A and B are shown apart, each in its own frame.
Chain A
Amino acid sequence: MSVKVMIPTPLRVYAGKRDSAEFSAATVGEALGGLTTQYAELRKHLYTEDGNLRAFVNVYLNDEDIRYLAKENTPTKDGDTISIIPSIAGGAS
């Protein structure tokens, strides 16, 4: 299944400035694994040391939050879009 992963602006610097990447994956977890394998620096921004998705990073399959689906085991199909939505606050802090 060819799945597109959208990379949010704050993380593009760790992904060779790309705004998206395509992977062959059967689940959301596999697609994210493909992403962090290709761009190793992304790993620490997306995952904690014990391998869990960080709580300030939300992952969506199409328009649904994977927390309400099967999390990283959510199956994907051809043409699906995975979006990574980190929290942003703008401004000067």
Chain B
Amino acid sequence: MATTTQPQTVAKSATSLSNEEILRYSRHLIMPEVGMEGQLKLKNARVLLIGTGGLGAPLGLYLAAAGVGRLGLVDFDVVDFTNLQRQVTFGTSDVGRFKSEAARERLSNLNASIQIEAFETKLTSENALDLFKDFDVIVDGTDNFPTRYLVNDACILLGKPNVYGSIFRFEGQATVFGMPEGPCYRCLYPEPPPPGLVPSCAEGGVLGVLPGIVGSIQAMETIKLILGRGENLVGRLLLFDALAMKFRELKLRKNPNCPMCGEHRTINKLIDYYEFCGVRGEEAPGPDVQVPEITPRELKSRLDRGDDLFILDVREPHEFQICNLKGHLIPLGELARRVHELDSSREIVAHCRSGKRSAEAVDFLRKAGFRKILNLKGGILAWSDEVDSSVPKY
């Protein structure tokens, strides 16, 4: 399972660079802002990357290239084919391998003179403090809200900076939490969104290069923190809109009443973050109400039998072009305005890609008085798996 490497007893700080290192980092050394002193700081720095995916890719690559002496990579996930669109540390031959190990190998190839440890483990309230304590800077490249809060809280409890980056479709955010005079994640977001309210990359999509940019910004901030150079993003929320190619900045204030980093801390230990975020078990539940469902196989039987079913597709037009069940297309965002196109006397089966958006649609329509409405469980992905494998998955 977890191949946690025992952290070494703190070695004596490096006080010199080998001739090979001097040559490798020559482009750093000839800059007065770095020099031998700065490069030694990098060599003695210990940085832990939480997540080796879209953000973790440029982070790992640039921090390894820069000569950060000890890099920890925390990720329990396995490389998936759909990751290759953005997780550029991996190659096609890595599909199926543990990400932390594939990343460790790639980064070692880039720079064998630094220490790289793969922690093939899920970050939890039980292991976070132990894992973080031997590192100087924590970089948050994760993909879910419970972990964001966990990383934040562990960093505040241990007094470690948390270089934060997050992305959605073509927008990104970056800042540095966890500095004594600066805010923490809870100052910005005291409460997580309820599950299902904010789409993930799998549902919303993402321009592959976006985490490349935001992760590189995180790498830059990490290096600046180590070197003690330049102005960092403490107290500043950098917003990036890739389509408009615009950067904006908002002020992030430390909340004096923050339960974690404020004047009167009320949270003194790590909590159950999944419970905090309302996520139970492996899968985030859909909207609050359980909606009536039909499985793809059941739908197929009923259609074959000649049942008069109205198929409502709540995906976007560009998804309909990839594959469809010849349903009537009303994108979810337009449903409220176009509900008159539906006949409530007919039996309706709503579907989307994976069943989440259509569950919202069914919930909405039931509240609007529709009684004969079912959600296609698992969406068109499940249809492809269970009924017709010629339907492409995406």
Contact = CB atoms under 8 A, between A and B. Distances in A.
A85 interface: yes
B173 A88 contact: yes
A68 to B, nearest CB: 6
Contact of B171 (A8, A60, A67, A92): A8
A86 B55 CA distance: 19
B167 A90 contact: yes
A88 B144 CA distance: 9
Interface string A61-93: 001110110000000000000010111111111
A35 to B, nearest CB: 15
A23 interface: no
B143 A91 contact: yes
B75 to A, nearest CB: 11
Contact of A45 (B169, B190, B197, B211): B197
Contact of B250 (A41, A65, A93): A65
Interface in B188-211: 188-193, 197-202, 204, 206, 211
- Counting chain A CB atoms within 10 Å of each CB, the highest count among B54, B169, B189 belongs to B189
Given A41-B336, A45-B197, A93-B200, A87 B192 contact: yes
A93 B144 contact: yes
Contacts of B170: 9
Contact of A87 (B55, B193, B284, B332): B193
Contact of A88 (B166, B248, B279, B284): B166
Interface in A24-48: 40-41, 45
B333 A90 contact: no
Contact of B143 (A63, A65, A93): A93
A35 B204 CA distance: 23
Contacts of B206: 90
A93 B145 CA distance: 8
Interface residues of B, number: 46
A13 B332 contact: yes
Given A14-B333, A58-B189, A63-B249, A89 B200 contact: yes
B237 interface: yes
Contacts of B188: 58, 87
Contacts of A17: 333
Contact of B199 (A10, A58, A60): A10
A interface majority secondary structure: loop
Given A63-B251, A68-B253, A41 B333 contact: yes
B250 A60 contact: yes
A92 B173 contact: no
B250 A87 contact: no
A5 to B, nearest CB: 14
A9 B167 CA distance: 10
Nearest to A17: B333
B54 A90 contact: yes
Given A88-B198, A93-B143, A93-B284, A10 B168 contact: yes
A92 B143 contact: yes
Given A55-B189, A56-B189, A56-B193, A87 B169 contact: no
Contacts of B190: 55-56
B167 to A, nearest CB: 4
Nearest to A12: B333
Interface of B: 51, 53-55, 142-145, 148, 166-171, 173, 188-193, 197-202, 204, 206, 211, 237, 239, 248-253, 255, 279, 284, 331-333, 336
Given A10-B204, A13-B331, A87-B145, 12 more contacts: A8-B171, A9-B168, A9-B170, A56-B192, A56-B193, A64-B250, A83-B250, A89-B166, A90-B55, A90-B166, A90-B168, A90-B206
Interface of A: 8-10, 13-14, 16-17, 40-41, 45, 54-56, 58, 60, 63-65, 67-68, 83, 85-93
Closest 4 CB pairs of A and B: A91-B143, A93-B144, A55-B191, A13-B333
